[in-house]
Amino acid sequence: MEKTKLIWYWIITGLLSFCIFTGGLFQALQLKGVLEGFKPLGYPHYFISLIGIWKMLGVIAILIPGFKLLKEWAYAGIFFTMTGAVVSHIAADNVSVQIVAPIVLAIFTVLSWYLRPANRKIISVNQ
């Protein structure tokens, strides 16, 4: 069972990392299609770049060994960003296919966090 859990962890974490990092890179570079997707939300361009940079740093934090507390913060940040994206689209009355990806990525974030191996978890605060 533990081996199966580890395999699922890496599959889900790999997909999550690829999607979040790529999306973050596109946001940081302010690609035209990305800016169009954000247009209904009314976010300023500098904020889109900032979100993108933080997404890329969050993925790096999740993937590198050690830094267990940083991983917890990265998972939380990605989850808040993805659920915030869903709420932002709903609040902007822009409910379309745009909200599918953040919903799926929020679910993948929770699954990756839940399935992570013991050596990537904080067991106690004093650790």
For the chain, which residues make up each domain, given as ranges? 2-116
pLDDT(127) > 60: no
DSSP per position, 66-110: S-HHHHHHHHHHHHHHHHHHHHHHHHTT--SGGGHHHHHHHHHHH
Q: Which residues contact 69 (CB under 8 A, 6 or more apart)?
A: 122
Whether residue 120 has pLDDT greater than 60: yes
| Three-state secondary structure call for residue 123 | coil
Write the pLDDT tens digit of every residue in 60-114: 999 999 899 999 999 999 999 999 999 999 998 877 778 899 999 999 999 999 9
Closest CA to 112 of 1, 6, 18, 25: 6
> What global pTM score does this model have?
0.89
